[in-house]
Amino acid sequence: MQNAVNGAHQIMNRYSALEVLKGGLTGQKNWERVWRAPEPKREYDAIIIGGGGHGLATAYYLAKVHGMTNIAVCEKGWVGGGNIGRNTTIIRSNYMLEDNANFYEKGMQLWEEMAQELNYNVMFSQRGIINVAHSDAQMDSFARRGNAMRLNDIDAELLTREQVKELLPMLDYSSKARFPVYGGLQQPRAGTARHDAVAWGYARAADMRGVDILQNCEVTGFDIKDGQVQGLQTSRGVIKSKKVGIAVAGNTSRICAMAGFNRLPMESHKLQAMVSEPIKPFINTVCTFGAGHFYVSQSDKGGLVFGGDLDGYNSYAQRGNLPAVNHVLQSGMALMPSIGRLRLLRHWAGVMDMSMDGSPIMGTTQVKGLYLNAGWCYGGFKAIPAVGFCFAHTIAQNRPHELNENFTLNRFEKGYLLDEKGMGPVPGLH
Ligand SMILES: Cc1cc2nc3c(=O)[nH]c(=O)nc-3n(C[C@H](O)[C@H](O)[C@H](O)COP(=O)(O)OP(=O)(O)OC[C@H]3O[C@@H](n4cnc5c(N)ncnc54)[C@H](O)[C@@H]3O)c2cc1C
């Protein structure tokens, strides 16, 4: 049931309980395509490279807020094939530096209304996050972060050891624990969502507003004349546009090299996640280990979802190695020894765009009409709605939104770093 209004594609049916009931009574045969598979037009008002969460959300907000409907998203593979479909879906805004805190808190507010906004159940579950502390010094640093969060109007609770024990009884509280639990920092509004539903929800909502989602459309080069972008060379032909936004996560340096930026303050690293066999409800919050790199949550199917450190070497391959899995699981065993009886079902990897200071880059570039969104390290899933909102503003208005005005590329030349962790210029450590 489709019609064309002002050249824009419209899907007539909104998802609703009634539609689900109708589907059930009619053998599930009458569902529409969730988004179209259009042929590329010769020219668009704007093109976004990358059909992950960031690219799709940007296209959605360009259409919704800025009225730009003659736009396309070029995706070299399929929607959901990149990091958007590979991450561990942790959503939080527990940042200390003001630029990061305000940006991610905007994201959190958009998550809270996303399912209604997109008319798509993204299964956002505000189950909270607890960062577990294992020393007095760590408790001090968590208190500092929690205070900074509260000053920015973000929810934060400093928990005693007893409070952590009540919420996370499965941790090792014995006298033999290698890393004793001292307490923790909680953000109650944090949580998880269903990652591929977020991609599908934005794709559908953008398509409904007329955005062409061009899958199997790899960008292979840029047409740039007199410092102004003119269009793109793609595996589906030349497509013209005077505005192009880059949102390709781990492939940023490859795409930027095509546009003549050969040295970016960024490295591509691989990050793995893994899931156990499903078990009955075990942990009802997100939990991070403070003495190593390990975090865990439980999926709706019952599997424990684990993540941890980067694999440790630069690569563009969406595959990881076994030592990294071993390292994550050793940390997990130190924190909650009972998981040792579980079987691991799968592990997989994505390619992270690790910036030198661990904070993102979003704004205009030296090429007119070319905009860059990158450097999300392993925290870009939670950023999706705020990225869409701010990157769309940056592209439509040709200047950053106030929430991303300090995420500049040239901050690395000027020394205005946003080093949330205080790790220094080592992208692999952020
Ligand atoms: C294992 C793992 C765990 C993570 N856990 C979390 C977490 O818990 N919380 C969190 O906030 N973040 C997490 N992240 C990070 C998060 O997934 C990413 O920062 C975020 O998804 C990146 O944005 P995206 O969705 O747009 O990326 P992607 O989905 O990777 O989208 C980029 C797209 O660009 C396309 N592309 C690349 N080159 C081209 C080209 N030449 N032409 C056309 N298209 C191209 C790719 O095919 C890809 O689909 C995790 C990542 C991984 C891998």
Centroid of ligand 1 to alpha carbon of 176 (angstroms):
40
Nearest atom, ligand 1, residue 250 CA: 30
Q: 304, 282 in Cβ contact below 8 A?
A: yes
Centroid of ligand 1 to alpha carbon of 82 (angstroms):
5
pLDDT digit string, tens, across residues 378-402: 999 999 999 999 999 999 999 999 9
**11 to each of 32, 208, 235, how far by Cα in Å?**
8, 6, 28
pLDDT digit string, tens, across residues 203-214: 999 999 999 999
Ligand 1, CB within 6 Å, residue ranges = 49-55, 74-77, 81-84, 86-90, 218-219, 247-249, 251, 255, 271-273, 307, 350, 376, 378-382
Please give the single-letter amino acid code of residue 67: G
**Tokens in use for 9?**
């594609």
Is residue 202 exposed (0-12), middle (13-18) or buried (19+ Cβ within 10 Å)?
buried
**Tokens in use for 280?**
């009955």
- For ligand 1, atom 50, which residue shows the shortest CA distance? 87
In this structure, the number of other CB atoms found within 10 A of the CB of residue 347 comes to: 19
pLDDT digit string, tens, across residues 93-150: 999 999 999 999 999 999 999 999 999 999 999 999 999 999 999 999 999 999 999 9
Q: How high does pLDDT run on average in the chain?
A: 95
pLDDT digit string, tens, across residues 8-54: 455 556 899 999 999 999 999 988 899 999 999 999 999 999 999 99
Mutate to test the pocket of ligand 1, among 60, 75, 87, 216 (most ligand atoms within 8 A of CB): 87
Centroid of ligand 1 to alpha carbon of 83 (angstroms):
3
Q: Which helix (H) or strand (E) holds 237?
A: strand 237-240
- Give the predicted TM-score (pTM) of the model: 0.96
Residue 225 has pLDDT above 90, yes or no: yes
State how far the Cα of 347 lies from the Cα of 353, in Å rounded to an integer. 20
What SS3 class is residue 45?
coil
Contacts 24+ apart (CB under 8 A), 250-254: 250/82, 250/83, 250/316, 250/350, 250/351, 250/352, 250/353, 251/50, 251/316, 251/351, 252/353, 252/372, 252/374, 252/375, 253/353, 254/316
Q: What is the largest CA-CA distance in the chain?
A: 70
pLDDT digit string, tens, across residues 235-263: 999 999 999 999 999 999 999 999 999 88
Centroid of ligand 1 to alpha carbon of 374 (angstroms):
10
